[in-house]
Amino acid sequence: MAEAGIHIIPAGLEYDRIIKPLFKDFTVKKAYLLVQDPKKEKEEYKKQTKVVNTFIEKIKKVPIDWEEVHVNLYDFNDIFKTSYDLIHREVQANNKVYVNLSSAPKIMQVALTLASFLNNSKGSVELYYVEPEKYYEGALISATQKLLKSGVSEADVIREIKELAAEIHEHGLAAGEARIHRFPPFPLAKLTDTELEMLKILREKELVFQKKKVQADEDRYVNSIKEMKELLDRDLKTEVPRSNVKYYLDNLVELNLIETERYKKELRIKLTIAGSLFADTRINAR
């Protein structure tokens, strides 16, 4: 179960992918539901908004502390500013923030991702996407296309469409939760060569650990600042002052690329999920 926190969830034609993870995967302090500002609604989308509102009504019946936040779904700047302020306020209050991208329109996905990147400090923000067990969109399109073919029983097709409509009404455009994909925002800061070398050392340690048949917990860490300094001196072929090593470690913790813990009076160091991904992409590109 993930750390308890605040959820930011765009409303859409979804139910399962909004509600299921809140009980299965997370402990929720509060959830902000991003909804279309009625004052900014476009005439051509009013029918869709009406359907979305039925899902919102259903979602808000779930016993969670909900708060609606109005945004203009067709304006990137408005979405970005609103979501940035929302995330920033919760991070400043020392809350972990989770952003569900599952039902977000494309413009909103980009805005939420950038707002998360700019607010992420020590892993305080996490994006996630819920992969459903079943999508209905393809089945619905397939069923309606049958009406264009000759020799097809319209009564059978209409029956199929009604069955799909009932399932969509119950679950949204997708049903169930097959898997939850979690994405840690990457840092926007430029790293020094020494910091990149640290990530490389930790990633190599991690890869060796993963290949071992018998895995001891200490094997996944660099087990002290002294050990990290010795590995840096070896790989960089120069002596790095211990004070510099500590400074770089603190910076990488701040960027959520590594995490540290006290163990037997030493500081053990390992990569975060973001650190592993960052190490693989940035180090190979050097």
Give the closest residue to 222 by CA, choosing from 277, 279, 266: 266
- Model pTM? 0.74
Q: Is there a domain that residue 83 lies in?
A: yes
Helix (H, G, I), strand (E, B) or coil at 154: helix
Residues 37, 169 within the same domain: yes
**Number of independent structural domains in the chain:** 2
> Do 228 and 142 have their domain in common?
no
Same domain for 79 and 59: yes
Residue 188, in any domain of the structure:
no
CATH number at residue 166: 3.40.50.10770
The pLDDT tens digits of the residues spanning 185-200 come to: 777 777 898 999 999 9
pLDDT at 223 over 80: yes
Domain end (from 144, 159, 183): 183
Domain end position, chosen among 132, 154, 183 = 183
Q: Are residues 75 and 197 in the same domain?
A: no
Specify whether the CB–CB gap between 32 and 9 falls below 8 A.
Answer: yes
Residue 210 lies in a domain: yes
User: Is 178 among the domain residues?
Assistant: yes
Rg (CA), the chain: 24
Read off the pLDDT of residues 147-196 as tens digits, 9 standing for 90 and up: 888 888 888 999 999 999 999 989 988 898 989 999 887 777 778 989 99
Residues 75 and 216 in one domain: no
Report the half-sphere exposure of 16 (CA within 13 A, side-chain side).
Answer: 21
- % of the chain at pLDDT higher than 70: 96
Give the model's confidence band at 122: pLDDT under 50 very low, under 70 low, under 90 confident, else very high.
low
Give per-residue pLDDT as tens, 13-72. Answer: 889 999 999 998 898 999 999 999 988 887 777 888 888 888 899 999 999 999 999 999
Residues 64/101, Cβ–Cβ less than 8 Å? no
Q: Is the pLDDT of residue 119 over 80?
A: yes
For position 284, what pLDDT does the model report? 58
Tokens of 116: 């998360």
Closest CA to 279 of 214, 210, 197, 162: 197
Burial, 62: exposed, middle or buried (Cβ in 10 Å; 0-12, 13-18, 19+)? middle
How many C-beta atoms surround the C-beta of residue 53 within 10 A? 14
- In this predicted structure, what is the pLDDT of residue 282? 62
29 belongs to a structural domain: yes
Instruction: Report the pLDDT averaged over residues 203-224.
Output: 81
Give the span between the Cα atoms of 102 and 128, in whole angstroms.
8
Q: Are residues 87 and 158 in the same domain?
A: yes
pLDDT band at 212 (very low <50, low <70, confident <90, very high): confident
- In a shared domain, residues 148 and 200: no
Q: Higher pLDDT residue, 185 or 8?
A: 8
Do 35 and 152 have their domain in common? yes
Mean pLDDT, the chain, integer:
88
What's the pLDDT score for residue 214?
Answer: 65
| Mean pLDDT value of segment 130-137 | 91
Q: What is the pLDDT of residue 126?
A: 93
Q: Is the pLDDT of residue 286 over 60?
A: no
pLDDT-derived band of residue 255, with 50, 70 and 90 as boundaries? confident
- Any domain includes 280: yes
- Phi, psi dihedral angles at 98 (to 5 degrees): -115, 130
Domain boundary among 183, 217, 237: 183
> In which residue are the tokens 């808000």 written?
60
Q: Are 276 and 206 in contact (CB under 8 A)?
A: yes
Does 173 lie in the same domain as 153? yes
Q: Is residue 161 part of a domain?
A: yes
Structural domain that includes position 274: 193-284
Q: Are both 148 and 203 inside the same structural domain?
A: no
Q: Which CATH number do you get for residue 224?
A: 1.10.10.10
Does residue 109 lie in a domain region?
Answer: yes
Q: Is residue 150 located within the same domain as residue 255?
A: no
Do 156 and 94 fall into the same domain?
yes
